A and B are shown apart, each in its own frame.
Chain A
Amino acid sequence: MKNKLMHLSNETMNIGFVKKVEELSGSSVRRCFQCGKCSAGCPMAGFMEHPPNRVVRLLQLGQWERVLAGRSIWYCVSCETCTTRCPNKVALASIMDALRKLSWDADGPSKESYVQLANRLFIENIRTYGRQYELRLGAVFNMKSGQFLKDLMLGPKLISKGKLKMFHSKNKNIAEIEGIFKRIEEMRKSGEAL
Chain B
Amino acid sequence: MTAGKKRLNYSYYPGCSLHASGREYDISTRALFKALNMGLKEVPDWFCCGATPAHNVDELLSLSLCAKNLVLADEVEGDLAVACAACFSRLKTAQHHLKEDDGKRRQVEKAIDGPAKIDKPVKHILEILAKEYGLARLEESVKKPLSGLKVACYYGCLLTRPPEVPELDDCEDPRIMEDILRALGAEPVQWSHRMECCGANFTLSRPGVVLKLSDAILNSARLAEADCIMVACPLCHGNLDIRQQKIDSRNKGEENYDTPIFYVTQLAALAMGVASDSLGFESVCVDPKPMLKGKGLL
Partners in one complex: yes
On A, residues with C-beta under 8 Å from B are 24, 26, 43-44, 47, 75, 77-81, 83-84, 91, 93, 97-98, 100-101, 104, 114-119, 122-123, 125-126, 130-132, 134, 137-138, 141, 150-151, 154, 157-158, 161-165, 171-173, 176-177, 179-181, 183-184, 187, 192-194
> Do A126 and B57 touch (CB < 8 A)?
no
The 4 A-B residue pairs with the shortest CB-CB distance in the complex, in nearest-first order: A132-B16, A80-B161, A118-B205, A122-B53
Give the nearest-CB partner of B161 in chain A.
Answer: A80
Which residues of chain B come closer than 8 Å to A176, judged between CB atoms? 68
Known: A26-B97, A77-B209, A162-B283; 7 extra A-B contacts, CB below 8 A, are A98-B59, A101-B58, A118-B205, A122-B54, A131-B47, A132-B48, A163-B20
> Do A115 and B161 touch (CB < 8 A)?
no
Q: Pick from B107, B162, B202, B209: contact of A83, CB below 8 A.
A: B162
Within 8 A of A (CB), among B38-55: 45, 47-48, 50-55
Which residues of chain A come closer than 8 Å to B107, judged between CB atoms? 187, 192-193
> Do B285 and A157 touch (CB < 8 A)?
yes
Q: How distant is the Cα of A119 from the Cα of B48 in the complex, in angstroms?
A: 14
Q: Pick from A131, A134, A183: contact of B21, CB below 8 A.
A: A134
Residues of B in contact (CB 8 Å), total: 56
Which of B3-11, B134-142, B192-200, B271-279 interfaces with chain A?
A: B192-200
Give the nearest-CB partner of B19 in chain A.
Answer: A131
Which residues of chain B come closer than 8 Å to A100, judged between CB atoms? 56-57
Q: Pick from A75, A83, A114, A183: contact of B161, CB below 8 A.
A: A83
Which of B110-118, B253-261, B290-298 interfaces with chain A?
A: B110-118
Which residues of chain B come closer than 8 Å to A131, judged between CB atoms? 16, 19, 47-48
B148 touches A (CB below 8 Å): no
> Do B56 and A81 touch (CB < 8 A)?
no
> Do B21 and A163 touch (CB < 8 A)?
yes
Given contacts A118-B205, A158-B21, whether A184 and B61 have CB atoms under 8 Å apart is yes
Q: Pick from A83, A119, A163, A184: contact of B57, CB below 8 A.
A: A119
Q: Mark B17-39, 1 if CB is under 8 A from A, else 0.
A: 10111110000000000000000
Which residues of chain A come closer than 8 Å to B55, judged between CB atoms? 78, 97
A-B contact pairs, 13 of them (CB 8 A): A24-B59, A44-B197, A77-B200, A79-B161, A97-B56, A114-B206, A123-B53, A138-B204, A157-B285, A162-B23, A164-B21, A179-B113, A187-B60
Give the nearest-CB partner of A86 in chain B.
Answer: B162
Q: Is the interface of A mostly helix, strand, loop or mixed?
A: helix
> Do B20 and A165 touch (CB < 8 A)?
yes
Given contacts A77-B199, A101-B57, A132-B20, whether A84 and B162 have CB atoms under 8 Å apart is yes
Q: How distant is the Cα of A48 from the Cα of B17 in the complex, in angstroms?
A: 29
> Do B161 and A104 touch (CB < 8 A)?
no
> Do B199 and A115 touch (CB < 8 A)?
no
Given contacts A79-B200, A115-B202, A131-B47, whether A180 and B64 have CB atoms under 8 Å apart is yes
B157 touches A (CB below 8 Å): yes
B171 touches A (CB below 8 Å): yes
> Do A101 and B59 touch (CB < 8 A)?
yes
Q: How far is the CB of B13 from chain A (nearest CB, A)?
A: 12
> Do B204 and A141 touch (CB < 8 A)?
yes
B163 touches A (CB below 8 Å): yes
Q: Pick from A43, A83, A98, A158: contact of B196, CB below 8 A.
A: A43
Q: How distant is the Cα of A157 from the Cα of B22 in the complex, in angstroms?
A: 14
Q: How distant is the Cα of A88 from the Cα of B277 in the complex, in angstroms?
A: 51
> Do B111 and A180 touch (CB < 8 A)?
yes
Which residues of chain B come closer than 8 Å to A172, judged between CB atoms? 45
> Do A91 and B162 touch (CB < 8 A)?
yes
Q: How distant is the Cα of A194 from the Cα of B111 in the complex, in angstroms?
A: 13
B213 touches A (CB below 8 Å): yes
Q: How distant is the Cα of A162 from the Cα of B161 in the complex, in angstroms?
A: 31
